[in-house]
Amino acid sequence: MRLPVLSAVLACCGASLAMSQSLDLTLTDPDQIAAECGGTAAAGEVLFTSCSACHALQPEDARPTQAGPHLGALFGREVAAVDGYAYSPGLRQLQAEGAIWEREALHAYLQGDLLPDTHPVVAGEQDRRDILTFVRVATLPPPPARGELVVPPEVLAIEGDPAYGEYLASECAGCHRSGSGNVPAIDLLDGEYFITAMHEYRARARTNETMRLIAARLTDEEIAALAAYYLSIE
């Protein structure tokens, strides 16, 4: 049982705790984040100019003159969690209850339903969606450099199904046929190399936008299946 105050506010707003927990914080692709948040980062950036008087996007950008805490790692962060900031009693109470900043809580706070008179109201729902989309995209951690990403051993150990990989590979064949120009062939690639490369695309360590989008859609099991299939081709 958690967030008695916050859950009551969300209930009044027609939101459920299940919805408030629904963000996939592993997403790094801006288009996927925009789809999940329901906003446009470019529009949110324009709107955020009003917010930037009080809030920096990252801790290193915070200025002593700003009245609000920085917004780095805001999504999924515990309420009132920035060290050294003098939060209001209401926010401190939410912190004591274990509240975290999830999508519906942030909407409730920005529209003034959660702790009214403690924050400028953003009345328009689409404006809130745009601002939150921008903040989430703008505060993504920098991608690792190519070669820095370490794929967990348990992920590398997933036993891929070559038959399922062959089914998935139909989407890859159009570009990755052997000898098809500047696009490299991927048959007979070492399995660990293939899996690591796909996870590097997913983490934005590799720069090809098409491959980033494809890798972001694949599960760990699907990547393992593709690796098994391509390794099996003779």
Q: How does pLDDT run across 194-208, given as a tens digit for each residue?
A: 999 999 998 888 888
CA separation for the pair 224, 234 (Å, rounded): 18
Total structural domains within the chain: 2
Give the pair of three-digit tokens for residue 191.
């399995």
- Tell me the C-alpha distance between 4 and 42, whole Å: 35
> What is the pLDDT at residue 6?
52
Residue 206 is part of which domain span?
153-232
Locate 216 and state its tokens.
């972001």
In a domain, 147, yes or no: no
Q: Which of 18-27, 50-59, 103-112, 120-129 has the lowest mean pLDDT?
A: 18-27
Whether residue 206 is found in the same domain as residue 100: no
Q: How many residues are recorded in the chain? A: 234
pLDDT for residue 143: 80
At residue 23 the predicted structure's pLDDT band, cuts being 50, 70 and 90, is confident
- Percent of the chain at pLDDT above 90? 55
Same-domain check for residues 58 and 117: yes
Same domain as 105, residue 9: yes
Please state, rounded to an integer, the average pLDDT across all residues of the chain: 85
Ranking 58-67, 84-93, 104-113, 207-216 by mean pLDDT, the lowest is 207-216
Closest CA to 51 of 127, 113, 117, 114: 127
Place of tokens 């983490």: 203
Q: Are 69 and 40 contained in the same domain?
A: yes
**24/94 same-domain check:** yes
Read off the pLDDT band of 183 (50, 70, 90): low
Please state, as a whole number, how many other Cβ atoms lie within 10 Å of the Cβ of residue 33. Answer: 22
For residue 184, the model assigns a pLDDT of 72
| pLDDT tier, 20 (very low <50, low <70, confident <90, very high otherwise) | very low
Structure tokens, 205: 């360590």
Predicted pLDDT at 22: 62
pLDDT at position 126 is 97
From 138, 173, 190, give the residue that closes a domain. Answer: 138
H helices within the chain, ranges in order? Answer: 4-12, 17-20, 30-37, 41-51, 89-96, 103-110, 125-138, 153-156, 162-168, 173-176, 191-202, 209-217, 220-232
The whole-model pTM stands at 0.64
Q: Residue 26 carries which DSSP code?
A: T
CATH number of the domain encompassing residue 188: 1.10.760.10
- Mean predicted confidence (pLDDT) in 76-97: 92
Q: How far apart are CA 1 and CA 40, in angstroms?
A: 34
What spatial distance separates the first Cα and last Cα of the chain, rounded to whole Å? Answer: 56
Residue 178 sits in the same domain as residue 68: no
Is residue 115 domain-shared with residue 158, that is, in the same domain? Answer: no
Q: 27 pLDDT band (50/70/90 cuts)?
A: confident
What is the C-alpha to C-alpha distance for residues 228 and 44, in angstroms, rounded to an integer?
A: 42
Which residues on adjacent β-strands are paired with residue 100? Answer: 78
Quick one: 56 and 97 in the same domain? yes
Are 227 and 179 in contact by the 8 Å Cβ rule? The answer is: no
Do 55 and 129 lie in one domain? The reply is yes
pLDDT at residue 19 tops 50: no
**What's the average model confidence in pLDDT over 184-190?**
73
Q: Of 138, 163, 184, which residue is a domain's last?
A: 138
Same domain, 199 and 133: no
39 burial (CB, 10 Å; 0-12 / 13-18 / 19+) is: buried
**208 lies in the same domain as 184:** yes
- Of 196, 172, 200, the closest CA to residue 186 belongs to 172
pLDDT of amino acid 232: 86
Is the domain of 134 the same as that of 170?
A: no
CA 85, 143, 51, 2 dihedral sign is negative
What's the burial of 51, exposed, middle or buried (CB within 10 Å: 0-12/13-18/19+)?
buried
Angstrom distance (rounded) from CA 13 to CA 132: 18
Residue 180's pLDDT is what? 56
Please identify, among 138, 165, 183, the residue that sits at the C-terminal boundary of a domain.
138
> pLDDT of 121-142, one tens digit each?
999 999 999 999 999 999 988 7
